[in-house]
Amino acid sequence: MAVARLGPLGAARAPGGGAARAVEADACRRLARWQRLPLAGVTVAVKDNIDVAGIPTTAGCPAYAYRRKQDAASVRALRRAGALIIGKTNLDQFATGLTGTRSPYGVVRDARQPELISGGSSSGSAVAVALGLCDLGLATDTAGSGRVPAAFQGIVGAKPARGQLSTAGVVPACRSFDCVSVLAQDPTLAQSALVALGGRRLAARPLGRPPRLAVVGEEELGPLDQAGRQAYLAAVERVKEQGARCGEISLRPFLAAGRLLYGAAFVVERYVAVGSFIAANPSLVHPVVAEIILAAKTITAAAYAADWERLRRLRGEALAAPAGYDALLLPTAPGQPTVAEVLADPVKTNEQLGYYTTFANPLAMAAWVLPAGTAAGRRFGVMLLGAGGKEGALAAVALRLAPVLGGEGSCLS
């Protein structure tokens, strides 16, 4: 009897067996096709409010867990591009928070300084990328959940404007403003992932000239700590030295829009998403998360409609300010607190973390976060924002500025 041997791909091959050789040839062709895919072999960790077929989705709440037979639309798109899903990651429960501390699975800490918070709610995905456990993190971002942890972990975070990527298969936080986002060590990989998720309309489109950036003066930096102020102003100077043209604008209408996200009637969408479950199972939910979401139950339809009208007015005012620029360049967060500081005052510290991020999705803006050195020994990231529908131009600016902001030096002209 002939002894079977293994071919190079592990396919059984008997001497002279034509059928076995055909199987091996087919496997080789399949492998060759897979290797040509844009994300072939890229490993991805998925935030646990996004469905992965066969793996429970808990949204950071074990009692809420369910299991789907189908991937979320975003996971399916990454798989089609050749990516390999390696698992799910921790998050602030129900994506309610910017700290990474609100989870029964434990506090997610900074990848390098464990006394500091990781940032959230996409905390686990960001730390997994920062530690090199995966190439890409798939995340969500409603108020800054993909951007704050990117800044604190010294990695790249990118999201198109709301509505550009499908949120099918994502546990809603605030459905009108939820976005899928990506996290990566490298801006080129982040860009490839965005294109895999949303198609060529999200591909970078070269500017052919130095970028024009809207920035803010020191008096507009709000709660940013002194080290952060110095880091931001130094980043502005670096891009100017390399040819970028910068002009100051006011953040007033942007901040007003940001306050609407969780300080007004829109928070009722969180109650619509998971409020009934929390009301029925209050002891099984993180107390801070339960308090925030259940408080929205009494919001009226009139208040909700009035806030949509107010947001429409603010959007026109805000987006007129940087209309002549390619992007708005801001700090990502006011500072990176310790775990102890957040646990001592979980609501106030969380609210402060979203100072620069909460307005992006209500105003339908795309955003990139890029590493920009350190501030008082903690990683510092800046954020580029642009109008929805112009993601390609914003991506071009981000790819061009990344080496300059990271201190590598690059010519922008």
Q: Global pTM? A: 0.91
What angle is formed at CA 205 by the lines to CA 184 and CA 323, rounded to 5 degrees? Answer: 100
Q: What is the pLDDT along the chain (413 residues), one digit of tens a residue?
A: 333 333 333 333 444 577 777 777 777 877 787 789 999 999 999 999 999 999 999 999 999 999 999 999 999 999 999 999 999 999 999 999 999 999 999 999 999 999 999 999 999 999 999 999 999 999 999 999 999 999 999 999 999 999 999 999 999 999 999 999 999 999 999 999 999 999 999 999 988 899 999 999 999 999 999 999 999 999 999 999 999 999 999 999 999 999 999 888 999 999 999 999 999 999 999 999 999 999 999 999 999 999 999 999 999 999 998 889 999 999 999 999 999 999 999 999 999 999 999 999 999 999 999 999 999 999 999 999 999 999 999 999 999 999 999 844 334 44
Instruction: Output the six-digit token pair for 183.
Output: 């996290």
How are beta strands 365-375 and 156-159 bridged, if at all?
antiparallel
Query: Are 103 and 62 contacting, i.e. CB atoms less than 8 angstroms apart?
Result: no
Beta strands in 188-297 (DSSP E): 212-215, 245-248
Query: How would you classify the pairing of strands 212-215 and 179-184?
Result: unpaired
d(CA 391, CA 195): 10
Specify the DSSP class assigned to residue 265. Answer: G
Residue with tokens 């071009």: 396
End-to-end CA distance of the chain, in Å? 71
Active-site residue, from 123, 125, 145, 181:
145
Q: Are 119 and 99 in contact (CB under 8 A)?
A: yes
Q: Which domains does the chain have, with CATH numbers?
A: 43-248+325-405 (3.90.1300.10)
Q: Do 170 and 148 touch, CB atoms closer than 8 A?
A: no
| DSSP string for 197-217 | HH-GGGS----SS--EEEE--
Task: State the Cα–Cα distance between residues 190 and 181, nearest whole angstrom.
Answer: 9
Q: Which of 118, 121, 123, 181 is catalytic?
A: 121
Whether 74 is catalytic is no
pLDDT at 233: 97
- What does DSSP assign to residue 133? S
Q: Which residues contact 393 (CB under 8 A, 6 or more apart)?
A: 205, 207, 326, 386
DSSP 3-state assignment of 49?
coil
Long-range Cβ pairs for the range 300-309 (8 Å, 24+): 300/265, 303/264, 303/265, 304/265, 304/266, 304/268, 306/265, 307/260, 307/264, 307/265, 307/266
Supply the pLDDT for residue 380. Answer: 98
Q: What is the CA 156 to chain-centroid distance, rounded? A: 9
Determine the Cα–Cα distance for residues 91 and 120; give it in Å rounded to an integer: 7
Q: How many Å is the Cα radius of gyration of the chain? A: 22
User: What is the pLDDT, as a whole number, of residue 16?
Assistant: 55
3-state secondary structure of 29: helix
Task: Identify the H or E element spanning 184.
Answer: strand 179-184
Output the pLDDT for position 8: 36
276 in catalytic set = no
Give the single-character DSSP code of 164. Answer: S
Instruction: Report the run of H or E that residue 339 belongs to, with start and end.
Output: helix 339-344
At 370 the pLDDT is 98
Q: Among this protein's residues, is 145 annotated catalytic?
A: yes
